[in-house]
Amino acid sequence: MSRLSKDIDPAFQGAGTKGGLEIWCIENLRLVRVPRASHGKFYSGSAYIVLNTVVGKSGSPQHSIHYWLGTDVKEDDLALASDKALELDEALGSCAVQYREVQGQETEKFLSFFKPCIIPIEGVYKSETGISNGEKYCISLFACKGEHVVHVKEVAFGRSSLNHYDVFILDTASKIFLFSGCNSSIQERARALEVVHYIKENKHHGNCEVATIEDGKFVGDADVGEFWSFFGGYAPIPRDSTSAFEKQEIVQSVKLFRIMTQGKLFEVAKELLNRELLDKDKCYMLDCHTEIFVWMGRCTSMTERKSSISATEDFLRNEGRSTSTHVTLLTEGLETARFKSNFVNWPKKEELKLYEEGRGKVAAMFKQHGYDVKELLEDDHEPLINCRGTIKVLQVNSGEAYLIPLPDQSKLFSGDCYIVQYTYPGKGRDENLFYAWFGRASQMEDRVDALSHMYAIADSTRGFPTLAQVYQDNEPEQFFSVFQTLIVFKGGKSSRYKKLIAETGMPDETFDETKTALFRVQGKNSNNMQAIQVDQVSSSLNSSYCYILQTGLSVFAWIGNLSSTEDHELLDRMIEIINPTWQPVSIREGSEPDIFWQALGGKTEYPKEKKVKQYIEGPHLFAVTLIEGDIKLKEIYNFTQGDLTTEDVLILDCQSELYVWIGRLSSVTSKEAHILGQKFLEMDILCEGLPQETPMYMVVEGQEPPFFTRHFSWDPSQAIMHGNSFERKLSLLKGGSQQSEVSVRNSWPAGSRGGTPEGSRRNSISSNGRAKSASPIPNVLGVISCTSENQLPYSPSPAEVKLFAGSSPQNGSSDDSSAFASSPALQPMAPPDNVRVDQVEGSDASDNLSIYPYERLKVRSVDPVTGIDITRREAYLSEEEFREIFGITKTAFYQLPKWRQNKLKMSLHLF
C-alpha cells in the first residue's frame, strides 16, 4: 500500500501488501471485506471488488483490480463499485490494471482466479452470515463453455435450452448428469467434468452419482433414459439450435475518443493510431467494439477518472452494446499488450543498464531503510539436468552431418551449423536432449539441413527427446552447462560458407594462430565457461569482462576493471585450453601498452557497463489453434499442469526462451510445432519484442525435462495417463486410475501429418499412438546424409522444412504423406474399423474384433496389447474366456448399467 489518505476507504487498509486474492463487497452502500472462506461465492444482487496481487522475483508486487457486477445489482451499488475500484488503484499508487466484470460475461483472467468455475447465487451478500436468506436446493440446468476456463451459465430448465454446441450439467437431488453437445470439443467436456466435481463436493457433499450423456445417444443406456425423463421424454434437439453463449464479433475498426469535461466524447482518430495521440493530462476511450479501453494519463485527477468511467457506461448504454463488452481501465505506463496492439509501432521499453560496482552499494543502502531489494538482477543458473552425461557434436556440411572428433567437439565456428546430442541419466533411463546450433554467419541452407538431420537422428532414438533450436549469442544457460567448456571461433569450415566468401570477396576470418584474434571470456564457473571470438577492434571491449588478445607474436590477458576474481580464474583456464603453450602478458584496464591498441586498430571508446536484463516476472502459457493455416493464440491465465491438455499444442513463453509443448493426442509433429513457435515469435502477441533468435524447445507430453517442469507444480503421475482429456477426468471423478501401464516413451502422439483444424478436435481421439521403434540410442560414427538409403521415412527432405521463409504450416504434402505411409512402424495406429469412438455406449459392438487373451489385456500385463481401445479392453476377449472371467455373457454384460460394468472391469483389472 503506497498511501492511505482520508479519501481512501478504511476497508482498504493493508490491501495489496501480500500476494493472493482479496475481495470486498458493497453492502448497504458501504464496503465490507469478504472472508477467505467465502471467496468464489458471488451473489447476483451484489457488486464486488477483487484485488489480485502477484509478488515477482524482484519483490515488487503486481496488481490487477476487477469489479464484478451481478445481473440484479442496484444502480447505486454499480456506480459505487467502479468508484471504489479507482480508490483502491490510487491507494496502490495507480499501478493496477482495472477490469469491469459482468455476471455471465467475465474475462478469462478473472475466471482463472476461481477454478474450476463460479456459479452465482440468487440474492444479496450478507456479511453476518455470508449467505442470502431463503437459499435452498433445487434442480438446476447449467450451460458450460470453454476449453481452458469454464463459463458457467444457469439456463431455463427445459428441453429448449439444450443445443448441439455446449456442454450442459443437470443437477438433480441424487444424480448429476453431464450432457455433451455433439459439436462440443473434448476439452470442453473435460472442463465441464471439473464443474461436475465442484457441484458434487459443494452442493452434495460428495454424496451423489454422476452420469455422462452424449448428444444423439438415446438407446441402450438407463442413464440416458433417466436424463430425458426429466424433460418429459426424448425428443430431438433442432439442428438450428444456437449456443447459450454470445459469439464474439470480429472487430472491423477501432476508434479513439478523448473524454472531455462533463463526460462528452470527441473522436480523435480511427484505424492507424500512434502513441503520440495520448496526452498525459487527459483521459481517452478506445472503442474496439467487443472491448472498451479507458486510458488515463498520469497527470489526470481522481475526479477526471471517475468522470471517464461514467462517460464510458453512458456510451455503452446509448450505443446499445452487448453485455459481453469488456471494459478495461489503464493508467499511463501500464498498458496491456491487447491495448498496445491497436497502435502502430508502440515504443518498446529499454533494458535496464546498471554499473556492476554500484549495484551492491545501492542495494545495501536501500536495505538500511527497510526496503527488500535484490542485490543482483540475475537468475539462478544452477543446471536443472545432470551435466555429467555424454555429448556428441555433428557438423553440417553440404547436406550431410559429420561426427566431430572428441577433442574438437567443444570448438564451434560462427559460419557453421551443428547438431548436439546430449545423453544424460534420467529417472530410470537415459534421456536425450538435441540442439541445432546456428552460427551467426551460417548459411540458410545449412540451417535447414541441420534441423532436418536433428529430426532424423531424434526419430531414431528411443522415446521422445527434447529438441531445441539455438542461435549464436542467444544460447540458454542449459546449452553452456552441457558443454561445460566452449570456444566459438569466427569463420567456418562449411563449403557453403567458403563459397560465400569466394563469391563476395569477403575476407576469410576463419581462426588460425597466424592472425590477430580477440576472445571475450565469460561464464559462471569452471563447469560453465566460454571464450567467444569477437571483432579485433577496441570497441569490442567491455569493462565487465576479461579478454584474450592473440597477435601472432604475443598474447595479452586483458582484465576489465568491473570483472570479478571468478572472471580472472576463468581467464587463466581458457588461455590454457585454447593453447597451453601461450605465455600471456596480463594487463589491467587503463595500463595497456601501445602495441595492444595497435593490434586493435587504435584506441576508441568502448562500453564500461554491462547490460542487465530486467526481472522476468513470470512465464505466459498460450493455447495454439491452427485453422486453415492461420494461427490463433489464447492466453491461459494462472496456469497449472492441468492446463496441458493432451489434444492441444501449447506455447510457454518465458521471454528468455520458448517451449512448444506437444500433447500426445494432438495432430502436430515436432517439425510443425517448430513452425508454430517461429510464428509465435513473429506475432509478438505480448509486445515483448522477442527476437527471432530466442531459444526454442520442442517438448512432448510425458517426457517433459526438468527445465520445463520447473515452471509448474509438477505431479509426475499426471504425465503418464491414458485416454483423451475427457476420459482421464471421468476416470478420476469416478475414483479410477488412468495411469499408464506402458511407458509413454514408446507411444507416439496420435494424428495426421498436417495441422490441427478445429474440427479434428471435436471428436474423441483414441489414446493409442503409433508404435515407436524400441531400438537403442544409435552410436553415430560416420556421415549421416538426408539422401542416404538408410534415411528414416519420417524425416522430410530439407526443402520440406520451411521454417525460415515465414510460410504457414501446411496440411501435409503428397510427398510427405507417401513417405510417411511407406513405413508401417511409423504409421498412426487407429482403432479397429468397427470400433467407433462415437459408438453407442452399453452395446455389444465386439463383432469381428481381434481376439486377445485375458493376460495380455489386463491393465498391468507384462506383455500388453497395443493398438486397441483401452476403454473397452473386455471387448477383445473371446466369448468363451469372457464367460469364464465375468461369469456372464457379453450380451448380458452390456445390458448392465454403466457403473456396474466399470465396477466389474475394475475388479478384474480391465479398467
Side chain identity, residue 731: S
Q: Give Cα separations from 563 to 59, 570, 576, 783, 805 (angstroms).
A: 27, 11, 19, 43, 41
In whole angstroms, give the CA distance from residue 65 to residue 174.
39
Contacts (Cβ under 8 Å, ≥6 apart) of 426: 386
Among candidates 300, 306, 292, which has minimal Cα distance to 339? 292
In whole angstroms, give the CA distance from residue 32 to residue 23.
9
Residue 162, helix vs strand vs coil: coil
DSSP strand E in 714-863: where? 783-785
In whole angstroms, give the CA distance from residue 309 to residue 291.
14
- Helix H, strand E, coil C: the string for 211-270 is EEEECCCCCCCHHHHHHHHCCCCCCCCCCCCCCCCCCCCCCCCCEEEEECHHHCEEEEEE
Report helix angle 495-504 to 444-459, nearest 10.
Answer: 180
In whole angstroms, give the CA distance from residue 433 to residue 695.
14
- So what's the pLDDT on residue 6? 54
Within its chain, how far is the Cα of 316 from the centroid? 34
Side chain identity, residue 521: V
- Using a 10 angstrom Cβ sphere, with 0-12 exposed, 13-18 middle and 19 or more buried, the burial of residue 265 is middle
Hey, what's the cell of 303?
475526479
Q: How many CB atoms lie within 10 A of CB 238?
A: 11
Contact 493, 395 (CB under 8 A): yes
Side chain identity, residue 351: E
- Helix H, strand E, coil C: the string for 432-484 is EEEEEEECCCCCHHHHHHHHHHHHHHHHCCCCCCEEEEEECCCCCHHHHHHHC
Contact 865, 855 (CB under 8 A): no
Going by their DSSP bridges, the two strands 400-403 and 411-413 should be labelled as: unpaired
Hey, what's the cell of 373?
531489494
- So what's the pLDDT on residue 217? 73
Residue 367, helix vs strand vs coil: helix
In whole angstroms, give the CA distance from residue 78 to residue 76.
5
Consecutive H or E run containing 630: strand 630-636
Contact 864, 742 (CB under 8 A): yes
Going by their DSSP bridges, the two strands 167-171 and 151-155 should be labelled as: unpaired
Phi, psi at 599, each rounded to 5°: -65, -25
- Using a 10 angstrom Cβ sphere, with 0-12 exposed, 13-18 middle and 19 or more buried, the burial of residue 474 is middle
Going by their DSSP bridges, the two strands 466-471 and 430-438 should be labelled as: parallel
Side chain identity, residue 717: S
- So what's the pLDDT on residue 241? 85
Hey, what's the cell of 749?
502422439
Among candidates 736, 761, 754, 743, which has minimal Cα distance to 837? 761
For residue 383, is the peptide bond before it cis, meaning its omega torsion is within 30 degrees of 0? Answer: no
- So what's the pLDDT on residue 309? 92
Q: Which residues pair with 636 in a beta bridge?
A: 621
Q: Which residues pair with 142 in a beta bridge?
A: 154, 169
Q: Give Cα separations from 225 to 93, 272, 451, 730, 890 (angstroms).
A: 59, 58, 55, 20, 22
In whole angstroms, give the CA distance from residue 873 to residue 875.
5
Contact 484, 387 (CB under 8 A): yes
- So what's the pLDDT on residue 129? 59
Q: How many CB atoms lie within 10 A of CB 511?
A: 19
In whole angstroms, give the CA distance from residue 482 to residue 485.
9
DSSP strand E in 28-69: where? 30-33, 47-55, 61-69
In whole angstroms, give the CA distance from residue 625 to residue 158.
34
CA distance between the termini of the chain: 54
Residue 607, helix vs strand vs coil: coil
Contact 575, 584 (CB under 8 A): yes
Phi, psi at 346, each rounded to 5°: -60, 135
Residues of the chain with pLDDT under 70: 1-7, 57-58, 129-137, 218-220, 248-252, 349-382, 611-617, 736-848, 899
